[in-house]
Amino acid sequence: MGLDPQLNATGTDQELQPQQLLLDTGNLRLLEHIPSEMLETPADQIGTEPVQDRLLEIMLNEKRFRLESLINSIRALGFLRNDRLIVARYDGLRFLVLEGNRRLSAVKALLSNAYESPSYVHDSIRTLPCFILDGDAISGDEKRLSNYRNKALQYVGIRHLTGIQQWEPASRYEFLARLIDQHHLKPAEIEQQFGYPLSAVLRDYRAHLLYRQFRDYELGRKLRGHRLTYNTFAEATRSPDIRTWLGWSDESQTFENDQHLRAFFDYVIHHIGQPQRDLFGEDDEDWTVESSAETIVRRYRDMLKRHDPEIESNLEQGNYAKAHELFELRRMGKLEQRLKGYISGLRSVSKSEMQEAPSNSVQLLAQLSAEALELRSIIDKLSTQI
């Protein structure tokens, strides 16, 4: 089928002054870096000074955008004019940049006099090469804004999906979802048109769908402060065991097991931001919420890999400590191996460890003795029945 022929947009080349160009709140690059309400800025508000100032601030301060590197490149070589910005008429004088927000941000930073640059650099950024999409000015019209963003999809995708300035996951997933959901492209058509591997299209789309379902869960629970990144959901959907557990259907292209979805989201939210000794090192200085979430997902995956009904039942019921305990016991192997491990561990206890909280240790040893006697009694009875 392919993209709608109307999206193969026509336009004209023109040199425009940076002061005429506006950053776009709908820039896919910004998905995980600005408040959700800002992503939905009305068309007539995008060009306001507060919105533009905030967008530029985010672009300059977010390290993942690597603006400093681009700024230094322009300072050394001038603005390279072989790559146009894709723009749409915003009003009578200004244009909205649909592709090229990173380059425009770098130019605006250089024009702010925050950097010393040779004169030839300033000469190279007096105007910027732009491709102006044909059509009327947006003039606050939401539908017209949406149409222009759609028209820019092909230009944007070729540059960022597999091209010279690839997106981070959130932007890539959202772009693929728009192609599939709004423009009804099949994954194989995306591979053909953009050169993005079919397996990667399917993987990224599943991650995006799981993220959407998490957002519905989050809104339903009225949760705050648990803003997980797309990488968490990419980690989950890479696992066949988690996909099966969540009820992934190739036919319906969705995760259908609502009970297990809630159990999975509950588990991640319960553990996020609380690094534990069994998941992270005690002195892990590199711990972040994002790395925590991905590690938690991997632990969930490892528990499901055992296909153990008792572990799965405890995960469903929210008995996480019991699920972890069972997982560790199963992972240690047969009873005989575990008992040998316990004995070896007790024999290696040092004198200083014995002197640390001795009353608690005595109580636990008494409990261990009682459990051992009960287990021996059960084994003796079973042995007589053989």
Q: Are residues 74 and 37 in the same domain?
A: yes
Tell me, what's the pLDDT at 309? 92
Q: Are residues 82 and 226 in the same domain?
A: no
> How far, in Å, are 14, 150, 154 from residue 6 at the CA level?
22, 10, 11
In a domain, 293, yes or no: yes
Q: Are residues 237 and 168 in the same domain?
A: no
* Mean pLDDT, residues 1-9: 48
Q: Are residues 140 and 29 in the same domain?
A: yes
Asked if residues 272 and 226 have their Cβ atoms less than 8 Å apart, the reply is: yes
* Mean pLDDT, residues 239-265: 93
Tell me, what's the pLDDT at 32? 64
* Mean pLDDT, residues 232-258: 91
In a domain, 346, yes or no: no
Tell me, what's the pLDDT at 42? 94
Tell me, what's the pLDDT at 155? 67
User: Mean pLDDT of all residues in the chain?
Assistant: 82
Q: Are residues 37 and 170 in the same domain?
A: yes
Of 103-112, 168-177, 215-224, 343-352, minimum mean pLDDT range: 168-177
Query: What domain range is 15 assigned to?
Result: 5-196
> How far, in Å, are 26, 55, 115, 145, 373 from residue 41 at the CA level?
8, 12, 31, 11, 68
Structural domains in the chain (count): 2
* Mean pLDDT, residues 23-44: 81
Residue with tokens 């290696």: 348
Q: How far apart are CA 163 and CA 157, in angstroms?
A: 8
Q: Are residues 287 and 156 in the same domain?
A: no
Sequence-distant (6+) residues with CB within 8 A of 362 are none
pLDDT(37) > 60: yes
pLDDT(278) > 50: no
The candidate with the shortest Cα–Cα distance to 247, out of 263, 234, 268, 231, is 263
Q: Are residues 86 and 222 in the same domain?
A: no
Q: Are residues 56 and 192 in the same domain?
A: yes
In a domain, 53, yes or no: yes
Q: Are residues 236 and 168 in the same domain?
A: no
* Mean pLDDT, residues 284-292: 51
Q: Decide which of 305, 327, 358 is a domain's last residue.
A: 305
| 80 secondary structure, DSSP code | -
* Mean pLDDT, residues 9-31: 88
Assign residue 78 a region: left if phi > 0, alpha if psi is -120 to 50, beta otherwise? left
What's at 151, amino acid-wise? Answer: K
Tell me, what's the pLDDT at 18? 95
Q: How far apart are CA 139 and CA 44, in angstroms?
A: 7
- pTM of the full predicted structure? 0.53
